[in-house]
Amino acid sequence: MTDQNPPRRPGPWDLPPAAPQAEPVHQARLAPPEDKGQSLGWAIASTLLMAGFLWWITGSVVVAGAVLFGLFVHEYGHVLAMNRLGMGPARIYIIPFLGGLAKGQRNPRTEWHGVLVSLAGPAFGLLAMIPFIAVGLVLGSVEWLMGAFFIAMINLVNLLPAPPLDGSKALGPVLTRVHPRLEQVALLAVGGLAVWWGMTTGRYILALFLGIAVIGHLKRGVVRGNLGLLSWPQAGHSLGLYLLTALVCAAAAIGALMPATGGEVGPALQMGLRFIGVGGQ
């Protein structure tokens, strides 16, 4: 026995039951579509364009191949970090005449995650040097050693704290932890110096790219805020990891040239500086 009345059967004058309402369209669109990355055709075309450009500016098939291989390994380091930190599946984009880009499906959850992602590229990218150093030592070829040197330089230059390079994303949150405006002032100053260096050393495409990025950075004003600030311990760890990564990249660049200078550090350093347009001729 129950205290509830049995359900009434619908009569001939009852309205038909209402059809279930469909989910509003805007609710189904809350999740953005997954980024599928470059199409196969455009990826191949971009890689070929980048390879041809590198061969044109270096004059060496070996060095151009080293830079292109180092570019892929560098970006794959970002991809691994993004996937590990819940930002994936990340994709690699090749941008002709400029370089590469790793793009995740989601933004980092914290500034600390952003720092780790930005440093993963330069740190992991040094692994691309191994085959070129090995072949250079076996063949006694300076050209292969130069390929390894330029791989190290790709990662070292990326650590410059100038937008949009990795260094600005790794060091910027540390500067913001000190003062919100300090990042903007420091990165704009370094970005201006990088543009000047590119113009005076004949690297006009790089200078133009950095100049556009610096102007965009100036328009943005204070950059950080949506992900919160690093804690002071995290800021200290970020600065330490940044300096350690830069030191390892610089040491790897000099070490790649040492077999060509009889194992002497000083001549290898001078040779490397000449190649980047800093030392004398």
For residue 93, what are the β-bridge partners?
A: 101
Instruction: Read off the pLDDT band of 12 (50, 70, 90).
Output: low
Closest CA relative to residue 49, chosen from 82, 16, 71: 71
For residue 103, what are the β-bridge partners?
A: 91
Average the pLDDT over 267-278 and give the result. 83
Q: Are 136 and 261 within 8 A, CB to CB? A: no
The answer for residues whose C-beta is within 8 angstroms of residue 87's C-beta and 6 or more apart is: 104, 105, 106, 107, 108, 113, 117
**DSSP of 8-77, one letter per residue?**
PPP-TTSPPPPPPPPPPHHHHTSSPPPP--S-HHHHHHHHHHHHHHHHHHH--HHHHHHHHHHHHHHHHH
| Residue 114 confidence (pLDDT) above 80 | yes
> Between residues 113 and 220, which one has the greater pLDDT?
113
DSSP state of 205: H
pLDDT tens digits for range 258-269: 999 999 999 999
Cα 234 from Cα 174, distance rounded (Å): 8
| Residue 202 confidence (pLDDT) above 90 | no
